[in-house]
Amino acid sequence: MQASSPPLLVLGIESSCDETGVALVRTQGSAVPTLLAHALHSQIEMHQAYGGVVPELASRDHIRRVLPLTECVLRDAGRTLAEVDVVAFTRGPGLAGALLVGAGVACALGAALDVPVLGVHHLEGHLLSPFLSSDPPAFPFVALLVSGGHTQLMRVDGVGRYVLLGETIDDAAGEAFDKSAKLLGLGYPGGPALSRLAEQGDAAAFKLPRPLLHSGNLDFSFAGLKTAVMTQAKKLGEALPARTADLAASTEAAIVEVLVKKSLAALAQTGLQRLVVAGGVGANRHLRQQLNAACAARGVRVHYPELHLCTDNGAMIALAGAMRVQAGCEAPQRHYAFDVKPRWPLDQLAAG
């Protein structure tokens, strides 16, 4: 889209897992779109009783939340539904039933309003979310995508121009946090609870493995670390409650060291001087501290989403949809027979 093109209002809907997010952004020629309003409902409280996300319950809750959230966003932005030009929605990856809720609502709205719709890749939303921050990045950069289900390093040369550099071969970093927390009896969601407890512990108390740290490639593996945490917890036995903070701190230190070292290796391999960190684990305070220090020592700029946009949210979906339209990667379609992609590798996303 050229700088002289009229502005577009893009409504974004996120429903890939256990957060329902809706947002409205406005395009401004070739500039980064402006976030007008967003609203988010988390299902954490509902899923706590089960120790994890229950897909059927997640889908039903998305149904209850998405339209009230849409009304809230429009009201906060001072806009009406009739002013929306494009409806973007998360097409994948994620839970199939949850994705279908967002896709169905988006296509129904598109058909009712006679406006085009656009299916967005969930991870592309995370990857581009730092463009809404007070310190937005510039292309090209290396992206570290770290969330509950994904740990990947990507080379990003522009919107839709992604090259996979490395990824986890088993558990993602977020899974390592959550599963380790469960082993320590910290409940759900485990990752944030483990990080809070780690603040009180000694990160050097236990020698835990750093899987694939010296593998010579940019892949990750965290399943072995989870097993090591379980083994250490069993060794401690009745002494575990007194040492839980130390074990939490040691676990967090192991995960963070691998993420930092691999990110630095990706920067060295590509020769790039800019790093973007996105996804839920990107909110981890220790990870941010370590990356900031390591990148500053190497003259590398590092960018993060705002903390409230690290979790799944509608703002990143609206933004990604708007940026794809701006870049000419994809033209929204008045085609409302939708499908979803629960498994959808980001590096297979077409640039147009």
Residues 40/311, Cβ–Cβ less than 8 Å: yes
Could you check whether 9-128+310-348 and 137-304 share the same CATH topology?
yes
Superfamily of domain 9-128+310-348: ATPase, nucleotide binding domain (3.30.420.40)
Give domain limits for the chain: 9-128+310-348, 137-304
pLDDT tens per residue across all 352 residues of the chain: 344 578 999 999 999 999 999 999 999 888 999 999 999 999 999 998 888 899 999 999 999 999 999 999 999 999 999 999 999 999 999 999 999 999 999 999 999 999 999 999 999 999 999 999 999 999 999 999 998 788 999 999 999 999 999 999 999 999 999 999 999 999 888 999 999 999 999 999 999 999 999 999 999 999 999 999 999 999 999 999 999 999 999 999 999 999 999 999 999 999 999 999 999 999 999 999 999 999 999 999 999 999 999 999 999 999 999 999 999 987 888 889 888 999 998 888 865 4
Check residue 92 and report its DSSP letter. Answer: E
Long-range pairs for 187-190 at CB < 8 Å and ≥24 separation? 187/48, 187/51, 188/44, 188/47, 188/48, 188/50, 188/51, 188/52, 189/44
Domain 137-304 part of CATH 3.30.420.40: yes
Angle, CA 135 vertex, CA 133 and CA 141 arms, to 5°:
100
Q: Give 207: exposed, middle or buried? Use CB within 10 Å, 0-12, 13-18, 19+.
A: exposed
Residues 24 and 37: their CA atoms lie apart, in Å, by: 6
Residues 275/267, Cβ–Cβ less than 8 Å: yes
Intra-chain end-to-end CA distance of the chain, in Å: 13
CA of residue 268 relative to chain centroid, distance:
24
Alpha carbon dihedral 282, 288, 292, 293, in 10-degree steps, equals -140
3-class secondary structure, 7: coil
Residues 348 and 322: their CA atoms lie apart, in Å, by: 19
3-class secondary structure, 17: coil
